[in-house]
Amino acid sequence: MSATALALFARNGFEETTMDDIAEGVGVSRRTVFRYFTSKNDIVWGDFATVRARLRAHLAESPADEPLGDAIRRAVVASNRYEAEELPELRARMALITSVPALQGHSMVRYEEWRGDLAEFVALRLGGRADDLVAQVVAQTTMATAMTAFVDWVRNPEADLEQRLDEALRVLMAGIGRLGA
């Protein structure tokens, strides 16, 4: 069902594809499509719960003496490890998410729990609360950096996703204040 919708989005564009088009393409009523996806935006995200669970698992595995930046970077990169055959669909999804304004905005909402997990981890490590300014800055900027790496990966067909994520996160962790100095 999501495959059919993805194909329609790719062929005709996201905004141009109506829920009726999708319903007709799948061979089901419009109402039923809304039973499986809470919104048109949500169709583009796949089983995001899995990625989130993987992030949590990798964070939990981090040894206590590992520096915070390394722990987060490794966990984010590792949780975005995909089989080669999964990449084309992921690329299609991310191409939409990073280019369609409505989806770009929706990612803020979709990644909320993901950021929450990260903030919890930071709070655990630094001994504060998840809603402290510092923990929130870490969570927000890590997500922003990951999104940036995805944008870059989508634009460069030959690029390696994990390598891009790692590279971008290293820049963030090292501090962007001294760049070029």
Positions touching DNA (CB under 7 A) are: 17-20, 28-29, 31-32, 34-36, 38-41
Helix pair angle (133-155, 68-79), 10° resolution: 40
How many C-beta atoms surround the C-beta of residue 82 within 10 A? 13
- Single residue of 2, 79, 80, 136 touching a second copy by CB under 8 A: 136
Residue pointed to by tokens 């141009």: 16
Among DNA, a second copy, none, the one that 70 touches (CB under a kind-dependent 5 to 8 A) is a second copy
CA–CA separation, 26 vs 4, rounded Å? 6
Q: Taking CB under 8 A as the rule, does residue 147 contact a second copy? A: yes
**Region at 18 (left for phi over 0; alpha for psi -120 to 50; beta for the rest):** beta
Q: Which does 6 bind (CB under 5 to 8 A by kind): a second copy, DNA, none?
A: none
Position 106 contacts a second copy (CB under 8 A): yes
Which CB atom, from 15 or from 160, has the smaller least distance to DNA?
Answer: 15
Q: Is 95 in the site for a second copy (CB under 8 A)?
A: no
63 binds a second copy (CB under 8 A): no
79 binds a second copy (CB under 8 A): no
How many other β-carbons are positioned within 10 Å of the β-carbon of residue 156?
10
Residue 151: both structure tokens together: 């944008």
- Determine which residue in the list 74, 144, 162, 166 makes contact with a second copy, applying CB under 8 A: 144
Angle at 77 between CA 71 and CA 81, to 5 degrees: 140
Per partner kind, with CB cut-offs from 5 to 8 A, the member of a second copy, DNA, none near residue 29 is: DNA
The sign of the dihedral angle between the CA atoms of 87, 33, 96, 54 is negative
Q: Which residues bind a second copy (CB under 8 A)?
A: 67-70, 73, 101, 104-109, 122, 125-127, 131, 133-134, 136-138, 140-145, 147-149, 151-152, 155, 164, 167-168, 171-181
